[in-house]
Amino acid sequence: MSGNPPDKRRRILDAAVTVFAQHGFYTAKVSQIAKEAGVADGTIYLYFKNKEDILIQVFIDAMDEILKRQEAALAQQTDPVQRLRTFITTHFAAVAESRAMAEVITVELRQSSKFMRDTDMKPFGQYLGMIARIVDDGVKAGLFADAVDSRLIARAIFGAVDELALEWAMSDRIASLVEAGNHVADLFLQGLARRAPPADPTQVG
């Protein structure tokens, strides 16, 4: 069923997530990853060009998965309001499933953006694009206020969500990511909401 015989690549990637989360990319040693994956040091180089490549593949894989997951979750919704809430919820759900992955993605992504400039960072762009599209749709549908820069909003939302995921991963202040997700969704949805004819100022806030 799952990855065939040894499926070493998968095991190495999983080990890398664990080790990178624990020590950070630069401090992590390739030999640690090998040990964690239960393979010889050299084996890693049968599957990855070098240490950096491991990190890149971790990202690509992780983004791939979360993108698919968001698509699946969003496919069932048409209302932009619901879709934005779903997006945030799904993001947190994914994050919650792997604290280590969350740490790697949120912490290492930035540091690494240096050497990943050359790399295929499209997946991240796509991810932002998903948010932006939802916002655009909401605007078109008259649900969100006009004249918002959807790209800017997308980035702001991602930043907020990412920061909370980071806090959750690194401390214990946030008990429930689901709950936090709903709070944040509320915040942004009300923030984006079209100011109804302010005849009735009580409508939105």
Tokens of 123: 């997946």
Name the residue nearer to DNA (CB basis): 7 or 79. Answer: 7
Task: Supply the angle between the helices 80-97 and 122-140 in degrees, to the nearest 10.
Answer: 150
d(CA 201, CA 198) in angstroms, rounded, equals 5
To which H or E segment does residue 148 belong? Answer: none
* Among 1-9, 64-72, 141-149, 195-203, the segment contacting DNA (CB under 7 A): 1-9
> Least separation, in Å, of the C-beta of 116 and DNA?
15
Name the residue nearer to a second copy (CB basis): 30 or 174. Answer: 174
Site string for a second copy, 86-115 (x = CB under 8 A): --------------------xxx-xx-xx-
The reply on whether position 142 binds a second copy by CB under 8 A is no
From DNA, a second copy, none, interface partner of 193 (C-beta below 5 to 8 A by class):
a second copy
Candidate list 1, 3, 6, 205; residue touching DNA; CB under 7 A: 6
Other Cβ atoms within 10 Å of 37 Cβ, number: 22
DSSP string, 86-120: HHHHHHHHHHHH-HHHHHIIIIIHHHHHHHHSSS-
How far does CA 181 lie from the centroid of its chain? 13
Q: Which residues are registered as beta bridge partners of 193?
A: 144
From a second copy, DNA, none, interface partner of 189 (C-beta below 5 to 8 A by class):
a second copy
Residue with tokens 């960072």: 121
Name the residue nearer to DNA (CB basis): 22 or 77. Answer: 22
The reply on whether position 85 binds a second copy by CB under 8 A is yes
Which residues lie near a second copy (CB under 8 A)? 23-27, 79, 81-82, 85, 106-108, 110-111, 113-114, 143, 145, 148-149, 151-153, 155-164, 166-167, 170, 173-174, 180, 183-197, 199-205
Under the rule (CB under 7 A), what is the footprint of DNA? 2, 5-6, 8, 27-31, 39-46, 50-52
